[in-house]
């Protein structure tokens, strides 16, 4: 569970710098992972994006400052990293529903968001169907769209990419490429660095690369494969969340940092429900 300790240390760094510049890169370094992976892991474990968490914590502290001191709104805005009163006002209202000036009045209703504390939760009852599979190098071919390290923007762009792909002629072409395991249409997030960061809609194949498509080779690895039934988006996102919050804590494995793979059955693009899988590369935990 070393990753949980690292994540808690990163949160401590954030808390100690709410009134200073917060570096996502530094938080990720403390958490011993890439900036992208840190944001992704944080979102699934905390249930909120890193950007939203920092905004809520800063605005919670700003509200306390406004009510217990005589500081001007502009000074508090500057203290919490806002050079523009307008942007501070917008952020404050998004958290509290009232303006910073109104928050100075006694009796104003405000929202306080306490710091997140990560610990092992007692959950249970709901089984996760999975198997472990060792697989040689996997070659995928398909189309891709660039991603950024802002998770919120990716969450908006990836569904749009899927919608456009399902409506286009390229979808059936990708379906025809599926010759290797895992069979089906694959949704794959590939992060190498901020400049080489893509989401692929592809197939595992030994076929040549069609014009306008790309190939990527995923190294040999051990994979935990979660079996899934239900509405695709909710089921897949739920698997990632439970992987971090439940399965990983007690499995004796740790995340391997390879591309995550969503596997969907081949269809005409109109299906809403069905069987799917999530493949996540893992490795055995280091012994202390």
What is the predicted pLDDT for the residue at 155?
81
Secondary structure string (H, E, C) spanning 244-268: HHHHHHHCCEEECCCCEEEEECCCC
Q: Give the chain's residues under pLDDT 50.
A: 122, 269-272
What is the predicted pLDDT for the residue at 268?
56
What is the predicted pLDDT for the residue at 269?
46
257: left (phi over 0), alpha (psi -120 to 50) or beta: left
What is the predicted pLDDT for the residue at 122?
47
What is the predicted pLDDT for the residue at 149?
76
What is the predicted pLDDT for the residue at 117?
79
What is the predicted pLDDT for the residue at 275?
75
SS3 44: helix
**Sign of the torsion angle spanned by Cα atoms 119, 237, 279, 274:** positive
Mark out the alpha helices in 80-215 (DSSP H runs): 85-96, 100-103, 151-167, 170-177
What is the predicted pLDDT for the residue at 270?
44
- Residues in the chain, overall count: 288
């Amino acid at each position: 569970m070393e990753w949980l300790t690292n994540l808690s240390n990163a949160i401590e760094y954030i808390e100690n710098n709410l009134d200073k510049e917060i570096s996502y890169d530094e938080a990720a370094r403390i958490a011993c992972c890439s900036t992208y992976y840190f944001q992704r892991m944080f979102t699934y474990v905390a249930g909120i994006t890193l950007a939203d968490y920092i905004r809520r914590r800063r605005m919670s502290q700003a509200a306390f400052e406004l009510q217990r001191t005589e500081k001007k709104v502009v000074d508090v805005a500057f203290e919490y990293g806002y050079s523009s009163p307008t942007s501070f006002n917008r952020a404050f209202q998004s958290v509290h529903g009232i303006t910073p000036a109104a928050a100075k009045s006694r009796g104003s209703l405000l929202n306080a968001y306490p710091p997140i504390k990560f610990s092992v939760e007692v959950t249970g009852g709901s089984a996760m169907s999975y198997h472990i599979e060792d697989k040689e190098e996997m070659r995928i071919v398909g189309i891709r769209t660039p991603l950024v390290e802002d998770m919120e923007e990716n969450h908006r762009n990836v569904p749009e990419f899927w919608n456009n792909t399902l409506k286009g002629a390229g979808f059936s072409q990708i379906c025809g490429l599926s010759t290797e395991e895992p069979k089906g249409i694959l949704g794959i997030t590939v992060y190498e660095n901020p400049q080489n960061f893509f989401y692929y809609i592809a197939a595992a194949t030994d076929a040549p690369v069609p014009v306008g498509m790309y190939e990527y080779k995923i190294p040999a690895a051990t994979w935990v494969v979660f079996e899934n039934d239900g509405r695709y988006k909710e089921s897949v996102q739920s698997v990632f969340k439970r992987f971090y919050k439940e399965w990983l804590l007690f499995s004796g494995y740790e995340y391997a940092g390879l591309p995550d793979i969503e596997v969907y059955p081949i269809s005409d693009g109109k299906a809403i429900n069905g069987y799917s899988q999530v493949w996540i590369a893992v490795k055995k935990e280091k012994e202390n």
